[in-house]
């Protein structure tokens, strides 16, 4: 049994090392491709000014359009609101629908447990 566990650990480490090696190789291939392609770029005309980059919708912009810092939380809140409303429409148990399984009282097992929980410590002898 211990031999199998040791073999699995060794195989997992070999697999992780292979993934790391593959990732390093692919990264270096991408860098080499980028260096080869960068020689084909055309130089800008002298005196021209590049267009400024203002960032995406989640970039920190104190003035103007944008959600500001932590703007990535806004889509998450919309998703939570959507699924909350969907839950409310599909399972109406909290808004006037079925109130639950225990309208006539709690199950007998719970009643017995509750009684035992409130008994004094020495009463069960």
Q: What's the CA angle centered on 38, arms 32 and 44, to 5 degrees?
A: 165
This prediction's pTM: 0.35
Q: What is the mean pLDDT of the chain?
A: 78
- Asked if residue 86 lies in contact with residue 77, where contact means CB atoms within 8 angstroms, the answer is no
Q: How far apart are the first and last CA of the chain?
A: 47
User: Is the pLDDT confidence value at 24 over 60?
Assistant: yes
What sign does the CA torsion over 100, 104, 108, 114 have? positive
- CB-count exposure of residue 27 (10 Å: 0-12, 13-18, 19+): exposed
Q: What is the pLDDT of residues 47-72, one digit of tens each?
A: 888 777 666 554 555 555 555 566 67
Task: For residue 75, give both structure tokens.
Answer: 């889509």
What sign does the CA torsion over 106, 107, 113, 115 have? positive
Domain boundaries of the chain, sorted by first residue: 1-37, 60-100
Instruction: Look up residue 119 and give its DSSP letter.
Output: S
């Amino acid at each position: 049994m211990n031999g199998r566990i040791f073999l699995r650990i060794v195989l997992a480490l070999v697999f992780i090392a292979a993934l790391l090696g593959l990732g390093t190789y692919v990264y270096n291939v991408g860098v080499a491709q980028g260096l080869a392609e960068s020689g084909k770029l055309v130089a800008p005309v002298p005196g021209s000014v590049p267009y400024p980059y203002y960032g995406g919708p989640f970039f920190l912009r104190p003035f103007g359009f944008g959600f500001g810092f932590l703007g990535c939380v806004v889509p998450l809140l919309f998703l939570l609101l959507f699924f909350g409303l969907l839950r409310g429409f599909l399972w109406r148990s909290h808004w006037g629908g079925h109130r639950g399984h225990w309208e006539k009282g709690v199950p007998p097992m719970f009643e017995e447990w509750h009684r035992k929980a409130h008994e004094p410590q020495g009463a069960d002898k």
